Amino acid sequence: MAEEDYYAILGVDREADATTIKKAMQYHPDKNPDAGDKFKEISHAYDVLSDPEKREKYDRFGAGGPGQGGDDAYGFGFGGGHDDPTMDFFANMFGAHLSAYVACIAKRARRRTRGEDIKFPLEVTLEELYNGTTKHMPIERTEVCGGCSGKGGKRGPRTCKACQGTGTIVREQRMGSMVQRVQSTCRKCRGEGKILLEKDRCKKCAGRGIVKASKKLEVHVDKGMREGQRIVLAGEADQEPEVPAGDVIFILEQKPHAHMERRGRDLWTDVTVTLTEALCGFSKVLLVHLDGRGIAVTQSPGQVIRSGDVKCIKDEGMPEYRRPFDKGDLYVRFFVQFPEDGWMTPANAKRLESMLPPRPPASAPTPEHLEDCQLMACSAETAEPQEDADEDMYTDDDDDMDHGMGGGVQCAQQ
């Protein structure tokens, strides 16, 4: 049974617009309610072609397709062509229409459901991780063309007539008594199923539906964030027509700090005090914190500080991420700065010694033979072990002897 051609029934071209279809129905010569079946046929054709969604399905799958009153209870229409060779079974059993519709569904399923994510490194200081900050980051990306709303042209792409919108062409080849179906990508639409006419192309995007654009993204770095933590800006990646955009992801990279080191939720820093402060105590601003506050500390006299001592200041470490009032601890490692040589007279030395703890008694008997020596200042470089010059001399002599012996052996061999 021949398939109904709704365009022929209304007497319009397949490219006719909505106004032309409406006029064709309005002035159709057979538009007479008393005409019975003929009137119903015209009315049904107009009902399909005047509805953009029904018309698109009809153009793709024919009168028996989904939404056109086809017989398939599950909504599988019967258009033309298919996109998968395995659909030949359905085409042979139920006709090419079923295979085309199933192929179209498979093609849609293969389309990307989401754009790709874009990742950028974001350098931050320890101060910014402590206090939180907002950065404005410029990026280059593609955006849906505003001139054509991503359609590529004013009217958008039209259904390819060659493949009926399936993107594939199915040809039958006879091999004796056998009939083989061969599937290939439609050359006219390059497998897209739609064609954009040259005259309809958008001048702004040249028919691509997307344009290059620059945008500044507002990136919020919260208090307590860490090295390697990701900040996700949903849907801010490259845009494509009919595809949700991916995310822009910023990965935090902490710059080295001059005075502080982060260890998890704690902070570590080094502080140098004078010998006087180490012995007699102090009351002063020990350091300036990452938020600009001065950390004032009082150390009582007699509470001696030694080089390498580590002291803890509670609740002055890094804030917890999303719990900024919960903080770690601040650890201070002390170094004692001794005075330069010659700062004290012999008389003052005796006075100072009288105030210091007594010298320790001799713990071992004095040897019978003593050698008077002197301590001299030196650097770490001069303290490195050096090769002995005499050892080099012996090595050179050994080499000479080896060469001589080698020559004798050669003569003996001759």
Residue 292 lies in a domain: yes
Q: Could you report the per-residue pLDDT of 242-294, keeping only the tens digit for each?
A: 899 999 999 999 999 999 999 999 999 999 999 999 999 999 999 999 999 99
Mean pLDDT of 324-335: 98
Residues 184 and 97 in one domain: yes
Residue 288 lies in a domain: yes
Q: Could you report the per-residue pLDDT of 361-386, keeping only the tens digit for each?
A: 877 778 888 899 998 888 877 767 66
Q: What is the Cα–Cα distance from 16 to 178, expressed in whole angstroms? A: 41
Residue 241 lies in a domain: no
Residue 231 lies in a domain: no
Residue 104 reports pLDDT greater than 80: no
Residues 264 and 191 in one domain: no
Average pLDDT of the chain to the nearest whole number:
81
Residue 207 reports pLDDT greater than 80: yes
Question: Of how many residues is the chain composed?
Answer: 414
Q: How confident is the model at residue 14 (pLDDT cuts 50, 70, 90)?
A: confident
Q: What CATH code is carried by the domain that includes residue 271? A: 2.60.260.20
Residues 164 and 272 in one domain: no
Residue 284 lies in a domain: yes
- Give the whole-number percent of the chain exceeding pLDDT 70: 76
Residues 86 and 190 in one domain: yes
What is the total count of domains within the chain?
2
Range of the domain at 267: 260-337
- Give the whole-number percent of the chain exceeding pLDDT 90: 44
Judged by DSSP in three states, 234 sits in coil
Residue 33 lies in a domain: no
Residue 223 lies in a domain: no
Q: Where are the alpha helices (DSSP H) in 136-243?
A: none
Residue 55 reports pLDDT greater than 70: yes
Residue 20 reports pLDDT greater than 90: no
Say which residue the tokens 């199915």 belong to: 170
Nearby residues of 39 by Cβ (< 8 Å), 6 or more positions away? 30, 31, 32, 33
Question: What pLDDT, on a 0 to 100 scale, did the predictor assign at position 405?
Answer: 47
Question: What pLDDT, on a 0 to 100 scale, did the predictor assign at position 6?
Answer: 84
Residues 178 and 96 in one domain: yes
Mean pLDDT of 82-91: 47
- Structure-model confidence comparison of residues 164 and 295, the more confident one: 295
Residue 236 lies in a domain: no
Indicate if the alpha-carbon torsion angle 2, 7, 8, 14 is positive or negative. Answer: negative
Most confident listed range (30-39, 74-83, 278-287): 278-287
Which residue, 195, 224, 244, sits at the end of a domain? 195
Q: If 0-12 CB within 10 Å is exposed, 13-18 middle and 19+ buried, where does residue 277 land?
A: middle
Q: What is the Cα–Cα distance from 231 to 219, expressed in whole angstroms? A: 8
Question: What pLDDT, on a 0 to 100 scale, did the predictor assign at position 72?
Answer: 40
Question: What pLDDT, on a 0 to 100 scale, did the predictor assign at position 375?
Answer: 86
Residues 301 and 190 in one domain: no
Residues 185 and 272 in one domain: no
Mean pLDDT of 324-328: 97
Question: What pLDDT, on a 0 to 100 scale, did the predictor assign at position 76?
Answer: 38
Nearby residues of 173 by Cβ (< 8 Å), 6 or more positions away? 179, 180, 181, 182
Q: How confident is the model at residue 107 (pLDDT cuts 50, 70, 90)?
A: low
Which residue, 292, 311, 337, sits at the end of a domain? 337
Q: Where are the alpha helices (DSSP H) in 111-261?
A: 126-131
Which residue, 277, 307, 337, sits at the end of a domain? 337
